[in-house]
Amino acid sequence: MYAAQHAIEHPDRPAFVMASTGESVSYRSFEARSNQLAHLLESHGLGPRDHYSIFMENNDRYFEACAAGERSGMYYTCINSYLTAEEMSYIVDNSESQVVITSTAKLPVVLDALPNLADVSLVLVVGGAPDDVDDRVRDYVTAIADQPTGAIERELLGSAMLYSSGTTGQPKGIIRPLPEQHPSEQLPLFDFLSNLWHYRDDMVYLSPAPLYHSAPQAAVNLTIRQGGTAIVMERFDPLEYLRLIERYRVTHSQLVPTMFSRMLKLPIEDRERFDLSSLEFAVHAAAPCPVQVKEQMIDWWGPIIHEYYGATEGLGFSACNSEEWLAHKGTVGKIVLGEVFVADDDMNEMPTGVPGTLWFKSGTDFEYHNDPSKTAEAKSSDGTMTTVNDVGYVDEDNFLYLTDRKTFMIISGGVNIYPQETENLLITHPKVADAAVFGVPNVDLGEEVKAVVQPMPGIEHDEALALELTEFCAQHLSRQKVPRSIDFDAELPRLPTGKLYKRVLRDRYWADGASSIV
């Protein structure tokens, strides 16, 4: 998020706008604030390759909190703002953060964790800090107020060190080596993304997701580096999202498939209320998009929709536009960065079109922070390839199809079942708001297919609905993929990034050792 040149060339242009209030921060102000925080961090003893954390909701200080590290050679870790004190403190401690930047809303969580954070010497609070708490806690605005607004003496490129979401285990920090170069030069991976997504200096980017996540981090970072304007939603609302496109003449945006689903379930008169003609490039990622959902979005928005797949680690990259996707339904794109190898558990290459574990020749180097064993597990024996245990296959045209996460594969009676396909079907049913499918214990088969469904508002969740959904699945899927039982939940544990926190659901059933709960 280095914007020094834009502060000179376009000082009054909005770097970003907060969607709920319309508050705008110019490039001049953004540059000054970022420099002030960089000076404060340096004065507190932090230098190149040191770490600090950001734990707060989307707000008007989030970007400068990142930009300060990016211009001072530091690593900054953006933490999921919905975590508990225990979860948050694990990441702060594991990342070796010396400073935590938080908000008034999130301060109670930080204070709960602070007795266990011996390495943290400063907590900066956006929105005001009380006087009668730990002496490490200071008001953010007051703390940076007397710092210089010009650049620090020696600017070096810094970077985010983000953590995996922890949906399949303990979160892991993904750290990339930093070359000693000026922050006006970014890592090659981000040059590649900027070109791929057609970013430019007069673009308007609409960000509907939490800023702690890797995708909005990259997208907003590149928008500001290009000199565009980012419109930041504090939280996603489907109708408000459409309204903002019209109001700000948005040109670019990035979404997750659940956002598509929520917009498609709006009344048709709401969907057609706003002028969306300015939108040029809509990227979606985070999870494979159900075929039916993608087709409906293309019918509505046309050829502007682009899909991509790339793990936070940046192991490989695939992408496709609407035309390519229609020709290869179900794909998440043609391999455009790195090389992919599809293997069985013994690292034997799978035939074309047959699913296996996806291994990539890395598009960018990385390690799991302070975890050499996890780093080793993610790399092949010769060190040339890496994996995050996604399962998929590549067709004869080198298009990649994601099947599921290996962690969630169901083995029922010796048959491998990937639940993503069943989830993708269930979410298209008009009475279903959200769905999760996973394996639960079965005495005879080892595992059986279970679905947990969040019904649409006003829909009665009873045995009749369970039967209706079972029959719906049976019409479209082979018998072994059809859920043997369906439970209902008022709301599934889906992260604000759109990622389903399936482990929380699955653990209920395995903890009980039973295949069904009331």
Could you tell me the sign of the dihedral formed by the alpha carbons of 86, 92, 98, 103, in that order? negative
What is the rounded average pLDDT of the residues 438-460?
88
Confidence of residue 416 (pLDDT cuts 50, 70, 90): confident
Superfamily covering domain 214-406: ANL, N-terminal domain (3.40.50.12780)
Confidence of residue 196 (pLDDT cuts 50, 70, 90): confident
Confidence of residue 106 (pLDDT cuts 50, 70, 90): very high
Lowest mean pLDDT among 43-57, 229-243, 342-356: 342-356
**Could you tell me the fold of the domain covering 413-512?**
GMP Synthetase; Chain A, domain 3 (3.30.300)
pLDDT greater than 50 at residue 517: no
Q: What 8-state DSSP symbol labels residue 72?
A: B
What is the rounded average pLDDT of the residues 245-264?
93
Report the share of the chain in percent with pLDDT over 70: 95
Q: List helix spans (H) across 209-248.
A: 214-226, 238-248
Which helix (H) or strand (E) covers residue 439, if one does?
strand 432-442
What tens digit of pLDDT does each residue of 263-303 get?
A: 999 999 999 999 999 999 999 876 667 788 899 999 999 99
User: Mapping DSSP to helix (H, G, I), strand (E, B) and coil, where does residue 234 land?
Assistant: coil
What is the rounded average pLDDT of the residues 91-97?
96
pLDDT greater than 80 at residue 362: no
Joined tokens for residue 346 = 């013994």
Which are the contacts of 368, defined by CB distance < 8 A and separation ≥ 6? 172, 173, 174, 175, 374, 375, 378
What is the rounded average pLDDT of the residues 371-378?
86
Q: What 8-state DSSP symbol labels residue 212?
A: T
pLDDT greater than 70 at residue 165: no
The values of phi and psi at residue 114, to 5°, are -55, -35
pLDDT greater than 90 at residue 171: no
How far apart CA 375 and CA 30 sit, in angstroms, is 36
DSSP states along 460-501? --SHHHHHHHHHHHHHHS-GGGS-SEEEE-SS--B-TTS-B-
pLDDT greater than 50 at residue 514: no
Confidence of residue 516 (pLDDT cuts 50, 70, 90): very low
- The mean predicted confidence, pLDDT, of the chain is 90
What ranges make up the beta strands (E) of 316-396? 317-321, 333-337, 339-343, 356-361, 367-368, 385-386, 390-394
pLDDT greater than 70 at residue 111: yes
Confidence of residue 313 (pLDDT cuts 50, 70, 90): low
Whole-model pTM? 0.83
pLDDT greater than 70 at residue 512: no
- The pLDDT of residue 410 is 86
- The helix, strand and coil proportions of the chain, stated in percent and rounded to the nearest 5, come to 30, 25, 40
Domains 4-10+23-183 and 214-406 share a fold: yes
What is the rounded average pLDDT of the residues 146-175?
87
- The pLDDT of residue 497 is 65
Report the share of the chain in percent with pLDDT over 90: 61
Domain spanning 4-10+23-183: CATH 3.40.50.980:
yes
pLDDT greater than 90 at residue 21: yes
Q: What does the domain layout of the chain look like in residue ranges? A: 4-10+23-183, 214-406, 413-512
pLDDT greater than 50 at residue 515: no
In this predicted model, which residue has the larger pLDDT, 502 or 72? 72
